[in-house]
Structure 1
Amino acid sequence: MTRGELFLISAPSGAGKNSLMDALGAHLGHERLAFVVSHTTRPPRAGERDGVDYHFVNDAQFEEMVRADRFLEWARVYDHRYGTAAAEVLPRLAQGIDVVHDLDVQGAARLRLRMPEAHSIFVLPPSYAELRRRLEGRGADEAGARARRLALSLSEIECYRDYEYVIVNSDLQLAAATLAAIIVEKRHRRARMQEVAEAIADDFRTALGGAR
């Protein structure tokens, strides 16, 4: 079976990464496509569901997973820890499923060290003013948290240089279509399509009596 591909998506907070992930599913569907659910020690925000948005764990549970080497990567972001469990990624890739993972620049850098074959995509906001507008529209964030995220946004944005692809999210549907196109392009490379192509060639050989 052809192995799936891993796609790492990073963006500064407020660039619309979560909305982009939702829109991607509408473009590609969920057949042969899976989204990683990260583990975190931060408390759930209003409307977030355990096992859907994140696996919410306490510090002791997270530390136990670290010691058991169950994370492909983990990092501290602001005041909490986030990690990518191997069980969220490796079995799916082995089954030929493409895996999409949205994570911060620290996590992406750590994961690329473990899995350098992963494809990396950075999502940019169209401007500082738009990023600020989006962050101010988040009712769940306190003013101090928004100010801190804005102060760190430039250092995060400058990390785009470390990524294979860059998407500017000025229009959600266009950005989602661009992301989908990147995934589709990888799916149709010759190495990925060889098993299917050979099966078709075998069908022709059989129909033509073994002719090559």
Structure 2
Amino acid sequence: MRPKIEAVAFDVGETLIRDDRMWAGWSDWLGVPRHTLSALVGAVVAQGRDNADALRLARPGLDVEAEAMAREAAGAGEQLDDSDLYEDVRPALSVLRAAGLRVIIAGNQTARAGELLRALDLPADVIVTSGEWGVAKPQPAFFERLVDVAGCPADRIAYVGDHPANDVFPAAAAGLRTVHLRRGPWGHLWADDPEVIAAADWRADNLADLLGIVTT
């Protein structure tokens, strides 16, 4: 019999937050039609590449980090509000906490994104980003930090995410239980991949089903 889940941890982009605003902002900043950048994102996703490669394809030689800093300085940087949340986020997180589970939000985002996420007053016990930790997925150290903040053994944590290479595979390798979410381009593209099916403890189409999944 497998250990009871005590904590549920969530990826951020395309798990809790729609990436629409982010990509639209980059399109406008670079002067690239939105449908063009969207198509480039789809292409790099299908190739298993970093999504930042879509920006480099749109503008060859682009220093993404420097450009992101320029956007912030110009007042065109990261923004986040309730309209960016998927509709099932607040209800699902609330139900999990009410059931006595520790809720953690931990993804590959900037320190600024961490501030914006905490400002949303989400029903979570911990909200932190890779930019604040100084280590990012899929590095094992990210999941070591996650286990520390969860306050329970790795096999009592369920990590929920859409991306196999950043979420499912490294979380499973670190000893966490995993939920692959069919959401966003990554989640849909790899939903039926045999390796993802084998690695994920559970698969879900939405967050509303999580309580029933992790408590079975």
TM-score after normalising by structure 2: 0.31
Structure possessing the higher radius of gyration over alpha carbons: 1
Of structures 1 and 2, the one with the larger relative CO (CA 8 A, separation 6+) is 1
Bigger strand fraction: 1
TM-score by length of 1: 0.31
